[in-house]
């Protein structure tokens, strides 16, 4: 049974899953906000993840700034599972003025280990002025980065030279990249 029916006339994919069969992505995401049942929310999220739909990833990401904590965490877990669709969404969140959204973006990229994610983390280190965002980016870069990312780590360490927390994150990332774990 296919999880997504592609209908040329339909503006959005139609989710094909028992009670969700008549809902498009927008309706399914809207239902997440109102459904009190954790089981039903999990079904909706699983269906959206399996749909591998970029629009679903975008709509889920829009929930991060104002969803209740439990729902936000469920949405973040679902986005982590959408590895093929989440990078552009996370890149957009990383441009937000909201520090929390930038940290959430890095968190949802935790499962992505590709070069594009590492490059995005190096870019974030260069452009972000928030210590916690840079520490999260450095931590992820320490797990997935390569030697070519060392300069971004060294630059952020210099920029935040008086910040022990960031210095520790960068130091660990540099050790990981150099293989001195």
32-77 per-position pLDDT tens digit = 988 888 999 999 999 999 988 899 999 999 999 999 999 999 999 9
Measure CA 170 to chain center: 21
Q: What is the CA radius of gyration of the chain?
A: 18
What percent of the chain lies above the pLDDT cut of 70?
87
Judged against a pLDDT cut of 70, whether residue 10 lies above it is answered with no
pLDDT, tens digit (0-9, with 9 covering 90-100), for 93-132: 999 999 999 999 999 999 899 999 999 999 999 999 999 9
Domain boundaries defined on the chain: 1-112, 114-181
1-112: what fold?
Answer: 1.25.10
State the pTM of this model.
Answer: 0.84
Instruction: Please tell me the distance from the alpha carbon of residue 157 to that of residue 135, in angstroms, as a whole number.
Output: 10
Measure CA 97 to chain center: 16
Q: What are phi and psi of 5, to 5 degrees?
A: -95, 120
Measure CA 167 to chain center: 24
Q: Mean of the pLDDT values across residues 133-152?
A: 97
SS3 of 14, please? strand
Q: How confident is the model at residue 86 (pLDDT cuts 50, 70, 90)?
A: very high
């Amino acid at each position: 049974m296919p999880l997504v029916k592609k209908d040329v006339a339909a503006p959005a994919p139609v989710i094909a899953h028992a009670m969700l069969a008549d809902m498009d992505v927008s309706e399914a995401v809207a239902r997440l906000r109102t459904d009190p049942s954790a089981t039903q929310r999990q079904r909706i999220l699983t269906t959206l993840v399996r749909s591998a739909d970029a629009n679903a990833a975008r709509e889920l990401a829009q929930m991060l700034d104002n969803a209740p904590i439990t729902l936000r965490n469920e949405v973040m877990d679902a986005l982590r599972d959408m590895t093929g669709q989440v990078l552009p969404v996370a890149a957009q969140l990383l441009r937000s003025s909201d520090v929390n959204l930038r940290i959430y973006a890095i968190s949802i990229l935790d499962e992505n280990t590709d070069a594009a994610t590492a490059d995005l983390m190096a870019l974030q280190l260069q452009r972000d002025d928030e210590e916690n965002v840079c520490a999260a980016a450095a931590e992820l870069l320490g797990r997935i980065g390569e030697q070519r990312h060392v300069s971004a780590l060294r630059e952020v360490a210099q920029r935040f030279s008086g910040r022990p927390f960031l210095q520790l994150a960068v130091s660990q990332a540099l050790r990981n990249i150099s293989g001195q774990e």
